[in-house]
Amino acid sequence: MLLRPERAARVVLRLILGAVVVGGFGLYFEETLVRQALPVFHAWIAIIDDAYRTVSLTLEPRTGEWMIVRLATPAVVHVLGGHVITADSNTLLVESASAGIVLQPLVLAGALLCAWPARTAAEHVLRLLLALPIIALVVMLDVPIMLYGFMWNQEVMALEPDRFSLVVTWADFMNAGGRFALTVAGVAGAVFLAHSLTLALSARRRRRATPLSPVPPGPPATALPDAPPSPPPSLAA
């Protein structure tokens, strides 16, 4: 169903205001937010990445922006293109990602949640509570896997360029716009679920508040006439 022009204009205005407010908040607190997330990223990389051991994961200013920088060493012996890569603590690999990548799903989700019309303020709050874990999952599937995938891609491109790698493919997908697609899908799911829950709760409250209607009395019962007495039995022989 198409929105009326005045309603569509309000939606666009809320979208722009939401992006400006959430984006400004994110830029102002970018360093603090990303630094708080680094220990979580470090722990998650240790779980998903069995090829490298992270030496350090830091946030550093580079060329006018904050960068997440990972230093790692090969953790296990593996073979690429006939070359044996040994676990060597003296070999350091470096990979980095822009800290702004962490904020992009947050800004997009905040703008969409502000713009999407809701029936009540409670529904807005419920949307936010449902969307937060989804956006956190998108971030966890983005930056840590990218730092792992692009580091692995360094060896693959140097030693075995034709090798298929699922982690590299996923990192390329997220870097090509996958984080935005997942964010939009996650917010849409949170909005739909919040709307459904709000309608269900409203219907339940209405059922509880509606008193039971008394049953109207029926017409008075009419007495049936007495049946005539039965004749005495015949005494004929």
Average pLDDT rounded to a whole number, residues 174-202? 91
Print burial letters for 147-185: b (CB count within 10 Å at least 16), e (below 16). bbbbbbbebbeeeeeeeeeebbebbeebeeebbeebbee
What is the model's pLDDT at position 83? 77
- What is the average pLDDT score of the chain? 84
Q: What pLDDT sits at residue 141?
A: 94
Residue 235 has pLDDT above 70, yes or no: no
Assessment of whether the complete model's pTM goes beyond 0.75: yes
User: For residues 222 and 8, which has the higher predicted lDDT (pLDDT)?
Assistant: 8
Q: Is the pLDDT of residue 71 over 60?
A: yes
Whether the pLDDT of residue 226 is over 70: the answer is no
3-state secondary structure the chain: CCCCHHHHHHHHHHHHHHHHHHHHHHHHCHHHHHHHHHHHHHHHHHHHCCCEEEEEEEEEEECCEEEEEEEEEECCCEEECCEEECCCCCCCEEEEEECHHHHHHHHHHHHHHHHCCCCCHHHHHHHHHHHHHHHHHHHHCCHHHHHHHHHHHHHHHHHCCCCCCHHHHHHHHHHHHHHHHHHHHHHHHHHHHHHHHHHHHHHHHHHHHCCCCCCCCCCCCCCCCCCCCCCCCCCCC
pLDDT for the residue 221: 56
Residue with the bigger pLDDT between 54 and 218: it is: 54
How confident is the model over 175-179, as a mean pLDDT?
A: 93
The pLDDT of residue 1 is 46
Domain spans of the chain, in order of start: 5-205
Instruction: pLDDT band for 231, please (50, 70, 90 cuts).
Output: low
Whole-angstrom distance, CA of residue 18 vs CA of residue 110: 6
pLDDT at 199: 86
Structure confidence at residue 237 (pLDDT) = 42
Alpha-carbon distance of 76 to 79, in angstroms, equals 10
State which of 43-47, 76-80, 87-91, 110-114 shows the largest mean pLDDT.
43-47
- Assign 180 a pLDDT band (cuts: 50, 70, 90): very high
The C-alpha atoms of residue 115 and residue 152 are separated, in whole angstroms, by 39
Q: What is the mean pLDDT of residues 20-41?
A: 89
